[in-house]
A and B are shown apart, each in its own frame.
Chain A
Amino acid sequence: MTDPMPRNQIQFGVFFQGVNFSTIWTEPESGSQTDFESFRRIIQTAERGLFTAFFLGEGLRLREHLGRLHELDVVGRPDAQTQLAALAAITTRIGLVATQNATYNDPVDLAHRLQSLDLLSDGRAAWNVVTTDNAWTGANFRRGGYLDHADRYTHAEDVVNTVRAVWDSWDDDDTPGLVARELKHYDVRTFGRLPRSPQEHPVLFQAGDSSEGRDFAARNADVIFSAHGQFEDAKVFAADIRRRTALAGRPEDDLKIFPGQQFVLAETDAEAQEKARWVVERQITPATALAFLENVWGTSLQNYDPDGPLPDIDPVVDVTGETRGAGFRAQKTRETVAAWRARAEAEDLSIRELVIAVGGRSQGGIVGSYRSVAELLARFADERVVDGFNVSPYLVPSGLDDIVNHLVPELQERGVYPSEYRGDTLREHLGLRAPLSRRGGRADAARTAPSFDLV
């Protein structure tokens, strides 16, 4: 007698957002966004639910709206790596993912801090690579806005390769080796300061959705985030990513797929639908609805009633820009406004109703009873549409309780969710192979070669 083939499984990560309107701050159960206790509660709940990873975002300048600080959403986040170092002390298994900008961090310092987190946590660290090119963010940093939009992925790849070279710089008898690299905008020269952790390198995450971003992930990342969290869409995305990964010379399952997703759950489907309505009405307040339109219209709409019809004025579009991008954006704005007007008219929607329809997570979220959502996720697992979901809780710090207490057991019963951590390191939890620059014997490819497009 042999056991039946085990079912394919999905995993969960959690994204403590700290910005944007998806986190509800108006309710009595909305806790602090800053106090360490909120982070402790979320990550310990996630670890109780055998989550693969805890994820922190990063934005290096406070959001503005129409030229002034944006006031309507939760805001004010800790430094990702410092916070994860603190959280490492009160957890033992869960992965710790830090979003870190490849443009406004110095690669050697970044490499050292990520390696530090990896060692402190016994091999649980990950880097979510993001790129920014705008001079607006650069105003907080020494180099200012030095990077052209077109160069951002090239530069990010240079930075990733430099970071890996630092991680690979200690040889097997613990002698620090020299890392000297010429990047397009500056050169760096250093000796690595640390040995590798139990998982060798921090895991690499990436979230670009453009064709260029997907190829970047296919060449460099271990995990890709996406916004493609609904079944059919996710299926198309997975096929595309696996094709690109294979084209980059890697096994097609080498890049794990974790779309971001909101889950609204209850005992019954009807209760869950009702709860989803409650959630979206608190995410998209009347003020947020107006601000959402103002972003597209490019001007103040404070004289309009959020419960009334869409503004009758034309959007203010920037036609002075000389680049093709500006013209393209102006055209896109006009098309968006036209489409929204048509929809609002056809369905008789107010401003707020329209924004809920087009911008609310209810459309992109997964809503249902514990049982029916478990059935749906089992389909995701069986058809290998995703490797996991990165959950965005709409409430802090109680937002994972439903998932961990009710959904996880339903999934485990069906054999589509882990019943224990697979190993000790994040790399082991994810079932990843060795780091890209450390496959096939000698590990110093990244130290000597300018890049490793094909491994």
Chain B
Amino acid sequence: MTSRPFALVVELDGHGAHPAAWHADGRTTRGLLRGARVAETVRAAERAGFTAATFEDAPLAPGLSHGARVDAVQRAAFAAPLTSAIGLIPVTHAVYAEPFHLATQLATADFASSGRAGWIVGVDPDARIAASSGREPVDAAQAAADASATVEVARRLWDSWEDDAAIRDTASWRYLDRERVHYIDFEGESFSVKGPSIIPRPPQGQLPIIADASAGVPADVALVASSANATVSAARAAGAGLVWLELEVALDHAGLTGAERVARLDAHEPWAVGPFGRYLGDAAGLVELLTGLLGQVDGVRLRPAVLDEDLDELGRAVLPALRRAGAHTPPAVGATLRESLGLPASVNRYSTKAVTA
């Protein structure tokens, strides 16, 4: 067992992971798109003690209106001043987007949350996304390369101001010391970015970067669909410091078992079995399952079937039991996401000062 904290992360998208979740919660599309919904769900997640919340996104139109969602970075930013401990991790797609804008947006979310922002890098080569931004489509390999280049640009931009660049020196009347602000001069295959950043270095220095283990993007945290040794070892070998398991959940709730709840919703639209594991059952079983993962993976991202119902059960029965068992500690008020995840403080690649060990 490592001393690394075990991360419990929850996805807060839409009505929930089940495609028919909207039949269960009775909420309208427009109600779901309001800030009030973000506030309600993220506060519930923080109260429950989750390490972080994630905000799914996709650059394509939903098939049906109830799948609509507002920009994930903005949802994370909206959640920032309403919370004080939970990490806020939006998905941002990185293949066709402007790297400079992504880096600035994410740094802003980090400032607004005092260092609690992360980034799930979306890698989707879909030609329809290219068409929406007027760019040429790329294949999967190029998509991974371009997303990786986007990550590199973001990392350089976040370091392009040293922490003490705003010197406010009244002797020389200089607000800024230009020697502590750096052009990044990134020259890539598909784009180049001059820099420096237009926003100072974010509170965390480097935001934790999270990506699917199969995405081919260098990340601090790899998301895996299986806790099998081979899968986890491969993700670690590819450079991820932390590995999180993806898990869909539907808990017993209001007199119905998880399986019964899913069956009812499946009658409207079946919940197709995807790459992720799925847990249907009572809270005690989920606690046992999660406890069993300690030492195998560094955390779990839960995708609740119906947010209104499962988030409630998770907060009421699952997280308190894990806390009592010593398997999970809620994030501390004021802690950065890096701290909550047990990632080391980030060192600035451009720092002109000697780094002491």
Enumerate chain A interface residues (CB-CB to B < 8 A): 25-26, 33-36, 40, 59-62, 68-79, 81-83, 85-90, 104-106, 108-109, 112-113, 115-117, 119-122, 139-142, 170, 174-176, 183, 185-195, 285-288
Distance in Å: Cβ of A27 to nearest Cβ of chain B: 9
Distance in Å: Cβ of B15 to nearest Cβ of chain A: 15
Cross-chain contact B70 with A109 (CB below 8 angstroms): no
Instruction: Closest A residue to B96 by CB, please name it.
Output: A106
Chain B contacts of A175 at CB under 8 A?
Answer: 65
- The 8 Å CB contact of A141, one of B78, B100, B132, is B100
**Interface flags, B197-227, vs A, CB<8A=1, else 0:** 0111000000000000000000000000000
Chain A contacts of B71 at CB under 8 A?
Answer: 85, 112-113, 116-117
- The 8 Å CB contact of A120, one of B35, B166, B200, is B35
Complex: A313 Cα to B34 Cα, angstroms: 61
- The 8 Å CB contact of A195, one of B65, B74, B82, is B65
Distance in Å: Cβ of B244 to nearest Cβ of chain A: 25
Cross-chain contact B173 with A288 (CB below 8 angstroms): yes
Cross-chain contact A83 with B108 (CB below 8 angstroms): yes
Choose the segment among B186-194, B250-258, B316-324, B333-341 that binds chain A (4+ C-beta atoms closer than 8 Å): B186-194
Cross-chain contact B173 with A90 (CB below 8 angstroms): no
Distance in Å: Cβ of A107 to nearest Cβ of chain B: 8
Chain A contacts of B161 at CB under 8 A?
Answer: 76
Enumerate chain B interface residues (CB-CB to A < 8 A): 29-30, 33-35, 38-39, 59-62, 65, 68-71, 73-75, 77-82, 97-98, 100-101, 104-105, 107-109, 111-112, 114, 128, 131-135, 161, 166, 168, 170, 172-178, 181, 190-196, 198-200
Complex: A176 Cα to B33 Cα, angstroms: 16
Cross-chain contact A74 with B112 (CB below 8 angstroms): no
Complex: A302 Cα to B60 Cα, angstroms: 54
Instruction: Closest A residue to B178 by CB, please name it.
Output: A69
Known: A141-B98, A142-B191. Contact between A194 and B68, CB under 8 A?
yes
Cross-chain contact B194 with A61 (CB below 8 angstroms): yes
Distance in Å: Cβ of B41 to nearest Cβ of chain A: 13
- The 8 Å CB contact of B175, one of A60, A61, A73, A193, is A73
B61, B69, B109 pick with most chain A CB within 10 angstroms: B61
Cross-chain contact B134 with A188 (CB below 8 angstroms): yes
Complex: A281 Cα to B104 Cα, angstroms: 33
Cross-chain contact B195 with A140 (CB below 8 angstroms): yes
Complex: A34 Cα to B164 Cα, angstroms: 13
- The 8 Å CB contact of B133, one of A109, A120, A191, is A109
Known: A71-B177, A81-B74, A82-B108. Contact between A108 and B199, CB under 8 A?
no
- The 8 Å CB contact of A86, one of B77, B97, B191, B199, is B77
Cross-chain contact A174 with B29 (CB below 8 angstroms): yes
Cross-chain contact A193 with B61 (CB below 8 angstroms): yes
Known: A25-B175, A116-B70. Contact between A86 and B198, CB under 8 A?
no
B80, B177, B193, B198 pick with most chain A CB within 10 angstroms: B198
Known: A72-B175, A116-B70. Contact between A193 and B77, CB under 8 A?
no
Complex: A82 Cα to B106 Cα, angstroms: 8
- The 8 Å CB contact of A190, one of B112, B131, B177, is B131
Known: A89-B81, A174-B65. Contact between A286 and B39, CB under 8 A?
no
Chain B contacts of A78 at CB under 8 A?
Answer: 104, 107-108, 111-112, 199
Chain A contacts of B131 at CB under 8 A?
Answer: 187-190
Distance in Å: Cβ of A101 to nearest Cβ of chain B: 10
Cross-chain contact B30 with A82 (CB below 8 angstroms): no
Cross-chain contact B70 with A105 (CB below 8 angstroms): no
Cross-chain contact A191 with B198 (CB below 8 angstroms): no
Complex: A33 Cα to B176 Cα, angstroms: 12
Complex: A211 Cα to B304 Cα, angstroms: 56
